[in-house]
Amino acid sequence: MGKVVGIENWSIIEGNKLNPYQAPELQTIKIHGEVYGHPDFEDGKEVTTSTVIKREGRFINTRNTRYHLGYPSMDYTAYCVKHNLNIWKIIEEDANGH
């Protein structure tokens, strides 16, 4: 997979919003945030990744790119705290097919 790209100020978004009939176990996630060190984008550019397929600690893999997760966005962190959601568990379960 090549160079690791940093992603900061990120949040998790659902990848199957266009298909309300998608089975829950087939739901996917993507990460939205500011990338650093990406060969196709200027540093700080807001992007949405393709589907997350694997998580290892603070690293996620999509089909073509390996990202290092920096700090999540403050708004997203506040939302997760308010709703008693564990950010890291959400990524791991979805990326590893649980």
pLDDT per residue as tens digits for the range 57-82: 899 999 999 999 999 999 999 998 89
* Alpha-carbon span 61 to 76, nearest angstrom: 21
Give the pLDDT of residue 18. 63
Residue 87 carries which side chain, given as an amino acid letter? I
Residue 82 carries which side chain, given as an amino acid letter? K
Domain spans in the chain, listed from the N-terminal domain onward: 4-95
CA-based radius of gyration for the chain: 13
Cα–Cα distances (Å) from 41 to 38, 53, 55, 61, in that order, read 6, 22, 23, 18
Total-model pTM: 0.80
* Alpha-carbon span 13 to 20, nearest angstrom: 15
